Amino acid sequence: MKNIFYPILIALMTVGCSEKKIEITPEYIINENWDEHANAIEINKQKVKKDSVINPFSKLDNRAILSKLEDDSSFVFFANVKYNGENYSTRRVYFNKDNGFYWKEGYLVETETKKSVKVIGALERNHWYKFSYLVTHPYYVYVYVDSSNKVHRFDINLANY
């Protein structure tokens, strides 16, 4: 009995501690962390800071990303993903299609937003983006969409930073 108990315990601990998947493409996001209580998303286009260089094709650490990129206020959208009958954790939320809810232009912390839109458009090639509010702790996903429309992803967990 003892020989069976420990492998099962280790397997359960491993499954329980595994990160839930967040998939981001230029057209949509799937976030297994979303549910009826936590379903927010903020997307900020990023720009490389003046006098900085960042290579999205290299292995970048948290410090390089945080110190070389900054928000580009020309593209900031926030949304609460409205329930549509699909399971939140498997639902594709499209950037280039109507999802049945509005994206608010501007930051979550702003009291007034400039406008509401149904579609924000696919993520642009050769640009950086920062995704926020995907989980309940300070965690950001930075993506770079290259010229062939491939996403290069860099996760930053500020809870451990």
Domain tally for the chain? 1
Beta bridge partners, 139, equal 157
Q: Are 72 and 50 in contact (CB under 8 A)?
A: no
Q: Is the predicted pLDDT of residue 11 greater than 60, yes or no?
A: no
What was the pLDDT predicted at 37? 92
Q: Is residue 144 part of a domain?
A: yes
Which tens digit of pLDDT belongs to each residue from 91-137? 999 999 999 999 999 877 665 657 899 999 999 999 999 999 999 88
Q: Is residue 3 part of a domain?
A: no
Q: Is residue 27 part of a domain?
A: yes
Which tens digit of pLDDT belongs to each residue from 13-49? 434 444 799 999 999 999 999 999 999 999 999 999 9
How far CA 67 is from CA of 12, 109, 133, 146, 147, in Å, comes to 38, 22, 20, 21, 24
User: 65: domain range?
Assistant: 22-160
Q: Are 77 and 110 in contact (CB under 8 A)?
A: no
